Amino acid sequence: MTPSHPEVPPPRQKQTLFEYPPLKEVPICFAVTVCTMAYAWYGVYRASQQFEWSIGDYGIWSSPPIIGNLTGPLMKDVSNWEWSRWSPFALSYLPVFFGHFLVFNIGSAILPESAFIPIYTLCSIAAVAYNFTPFLVAVSMAQGTVVFLTAMYAKKTWAVWLSALPVLYVSMHETNSLSDDPFLIFTFLSYSMIHYISYCLEHLKGESRKEDDTILKRYLRMMFFAFYQPYLFSLIVLYPDFERQLRERKTRQRNWLDCAWSGVRIAFWWWLMEASLHFLYHEAILKNAPYLYSLPKDQFVALGMAMGIFFHLKYAVIFGLPTLFAKLDNMDPLPGPICLIRVTLYSKVWREFDRGLYQFFKTYIFIPICAPTFSLPRKIFGVFISYGFVLLWHGFYHHNIVWIGLNILALFIEMGSKAIYTIESVRKWREANLSDVAFRRILAWCHILPFAIGLYSNFYFLGGSDVGAAFVQRFLIEETITFRWPFLLIISLGWFHANTAMEVDRLKSLEKSKKEKSN
């Protein structure tokens, strides 16, 4: 028997408050946005070519991949710790992924499930132990066992969280006590804990498989879920979704063309990022305060753009590689991260960048807190607790605290604006006095405030406290508060960019509607 639990209503369909109408000046908006981006990248290139490397900067002599014979050795910016560590690791891990592909697909085809599941799980654990050290695998399994036994015997949701969160906190903040290489902790240990939590919470809701009718079978299923290679790290997948994908893969037609195209795109972006770091040194410049503060304002601001785009491309590859192998298994992984260039409202970033993390805190934190009434106080409390988990996930450090705080502020501005527009008298006044086109133009100006807050939050998140403070000093204090012309120029460009982002959303919405009608 499963323990009783309060019924949680399914997620409600969001009401569309306002559909963006077409705008005749959209081609101008696109042109201004493209020209602005091109000029910004030129500014990053100029700043990079004038940058003089010195002791303490993170750079190495290296030949760009593929084009190295043409360029010869160049200085490569290796300041981005995550990418510089992930890229060689991922290359070395490719044999494991290919081995997984053979074992998983051949084994599941020729062996009964009772034999295949334990064999695959043991093979995967052995591969992880070889690449992440046996000690970390033992730590992970010990953590999972504690959470599992808590769920089986305490049978309380709060007990599962209580058994997991302190361990997750220690893993993210006391990494040196577990490994000399924090990368291994962040890449493997934290993700395995997320999957243990998902399995155990779903079991308490009665969502574990009926055929797993013993403690041993449930424990094995949890380990199989946690050590399924494409979802082992980088990607967060909820347990019910994992089981759904396993069921559907048996009847769904495998799309080899999509797999091939995904592989080509990942390889291209991987190569482009590795090659670009030999010419564009935005990460190293951001860490060199004297040079950073000496740059002209146009080059300085362009570095913020480069930092955000590099972050998106980095995760397009980091998420994309395991996604590719999940597709090769005929699974149905979540789409990749949304392109940050076409975003002005950062609520969309939370929903569509790390989609797995968003689903996790929405399903297990936000909705349970807000249900059943979804009243405003519950929503506000749910936002704070959800973002508190995200902060725990990334670490309670100053730059992350500022990042989360500014994101909450931007989200409340967005939520408050939407709440005002849902007031019937406000909506009717707008419809009577402002055309849809005029309202869209006004909305583009309104998007700039939460967008700017989101940008400053990302400067702290991606660059750290010193980089965030540099943008606050050099642009917010020196240009924005004083209403100098660079600020006026930036917000004008922001209006064109907001309309460009709106138009992309409008076109995607039309495309989605056409697909739904055709189906």
Domain final residue, candidates 231, 255, 279: 255
User: Do 261 and 404 fall into the same domain?
Assistant: yes
Q: Which residues make beta-bridge pairs with 62?
A: 74
User: Do 200 and 289 fall into the same domain?
Assistant: no
User: Do 94 and 207 fall into the same domain?
Assistant: yes
pTM reported for the whole predicted model: 0.91
72: left (phi over 0), alpha (psi -120 to 50) or beta: left
Domain final residue, candidates 255, 284, 313: 255
Within a domain: 2 = no
Q: How many domains does the chain have?
A: 2
Two structure tokens written together for 412: 């409340």
pLDDT at residue 15, rounded to an integer: 64
Beta-carbon contacts of 133 under 8 Å, excluding residues fewer than 6 positions away, are: 179, 184
User: Do 133 and 49 fall into the same domain?
Assistant: no
**Which residues of the chain register pLDDT less than 50?**
1-11
pLDDT at residue 514, rounded to an integer: 84
Q: Are 407 and 454 in contact (CB under 8 A)?
A: yes
pLDDT at residue 223, rounded to an integer: 97
User: Do 200 and 216 fall into the same domain?
Assistant: yes
User: Do 145 and 242 fall into the same domain?
Assistant: yes
Within a domain: 516 = no
pLDDT at residue 57, rounded to an integer: 86
For residue 306, the enclosing domain spans 25-71+257-508
pLDDT at residue 509, rounded to an integer: 87
User: Do 377 and 247 fall into the same domain?
Assistant: no
Within a domain: 179 = yes
User: Do 51 and 105 fall into the same domain?
Assistant: no
Domain final residue, candidates 204, 230, 255: 255
Over residues 428-456, the pLDDT tens digits come to: 999 999 999 999 999 999 999 999 999 99
Nearest CA to 304 out of 77, 474, 131 is that of 474
Distance CA(247)–CA(322), nearest Å, equals 20
User: Do 323 and 333 fall into the same domain?
Assistant: yes
pLDDT at residue 8, rounded to an integer: 43
pLDDT at residue 132, rounded to an integer: 93
- How far CA 83 is from CA of 88, 305, 314, in Å, comes to 9, 18, 7
Q: What is the DSSP string of 183-199?
A: HHIIIIIHHHHHHHHHH
Within a domain: 9 = no
Name the residue with tokens 């508060």. Answer: 481
Within a domain: 14 = no
User: Do 127 and 211 fall into the same domain?
Assistant: yes
Within a domain: 264 = yes
Beta-carbon contacts of 119 under 8 Å, excluding residues fewer than 6 positions away, are: 103, 107, 111
pLDDT at residue 13, rounded to an integer: 52
pLDDT at residue 469, rounded to an integer: 96
User: Do 146 and 53 fall into the same domain?
Assistant: no
Within a domain: 398 = yes
